[in-house]
Amino acid sequence: MEGQNMTKVVLLACGSFNPITNMHLRMFELARDHLEDTGQYRVVRGIISPVGDGYKKKGLIEACHRVEMARLATENSDWISVDSWESLQPEWVETAKVVRHHYEELISTEENKDDVDTAKYAKKQRIDENYFESSAHSKRRDGPRLMLLCGADVLESFEIPNMWKQEDIVEIVGRYGLVCITRSGNDPHKLIHQSDLLWNYRKTIEVVQEWVTNDISATHLRRALRRGQSVRYLVPDRVLHYIQEQDFYSAESEKKNADVVLAPLQRYTAASSS
Ligand SMILES: Nc1ncnc2c1ncn2[C@@H]1O[C@H](COP(=O)(O)OP(=O)(O)OP(=O)(O)O)[C@@H](O)[C@H]1O
Ligand SMILES: NC(=O)c1ccc[n+]([C@@H]2O[C@H](COP(=O)(O)O)[C@@H](O)[C@H]2O)c1
């Protein structure tokens, strides 16, 4: 029967979500359409994971509020939800660890359902580094997959020295898989072509072409809010009300962490030397 041979996919998006925008939500819809259009996947869930306060990015407001806005934004979705695990960690958590955490959660849920095949599949996925590389888009369709969903700027950031550990890129892209939405100013196909590492994993990177380009970014939103300009229809109304109620995104809040230059890189360097 149609559907039974398809691989179930859970999409995980990590980011600041400072604040969540309509484009963050559109990413999920675009990715689901793209994956399901291949006839190989059924997208069953989308998870938004806002980064914790430890990320110390310029202008990052408290995680509890970013989580709440993401919750309000997804209230009407029957498949996308927000998860606060990452945001509650005292230190910044590298994305590979976040993906691993959610994969373990997914598998334990499946195991609780007494799905023996899924457990076997999970074990295989954990132990075989090259599993997805060798079997990407393969006939094996008996277990759920967790894939990281991101915009093309994140794929591009893989090339920035010291921003990502090589082994983390290999784990995310090779073991789990990446769904990358095009964003104006980035060319993911060219990037994959030019990078020997990404080229190795080209079969586990799904590039989703967004033809109706939409350059909404949280930075743009914060700038407009600072200037007292309208952001209506760029964020869900409930999120806008929350921002207005709490009076977020002022010139003052944008100064937060302003002295932390290249935050991930610094933290990454500090973490690897300890
Ligand atoms: N307009 C967009 N098109 C495609 N992907 C996007 C877009 N906006 C955000 N994303 C993606 O959403 C994820 C979470 O985004 P995040 O909040 O960290 O970035 P952002 O919206 O670009 O924020 P900021 O402007 O504060 O850097 C990332 O993978 C990012 O690439
Ligand atoms: N080495 C890493 O794991 C690494 C490096 C940079 C950003 N990230 C993640 O990418 C996401 C987006 O970050 P920016 O909002 O800085 O673009 C965040 O969730 C952040 O944690 C991860």
Q: Return the higher-pLDDT residue of 16 and 267.
A: 16
Cα separation, 17 vs 9, in Å, equals 22
Q: How confident is the model over 199-246, as pLDDT tens digits? A: 999 999 999 998 888 889 999 999 999 999 999 999 999 999 999 999
Tell me the pLDDT of the chain averaged across its residues: 86
- Ligand sitting nearest the alpha carbon of 254: 1
Class of domain 7-273: alpha beta
Which burial class, exposed, middle or buried, applies to 53 when counting CB atoms under 10 A from its CB (0-12, 13-18, 19+)?
A: buried
Query: What is the average pLDDT across 1-10?
Result: 79
- In the structure, what pLDDT confidence band is assigned to residue 106 with cuts at 50, 70 and 90? very high
236 neighbors 22 (Cβ within 8 angstroms):
yes
Atom of ligand 1 nearest to the CA of 151: 31
Atom of ligand 1 nearest to the CA of 152: 31
Amino acid of residue 77: S
Query: Ligand 1 pocket: which of 14, 21, 24 to mutate (most atoms <8 Å of CB)?
Result: 24
Cβ(96)–Cβ(264) below 8 Å: no
Ligand nearest to the CA of 160: 2
Give the residue whose CA is nearest to atom 30 of ligand 1: 151
Cis ω before 19 (30° cut-off from 0): yes
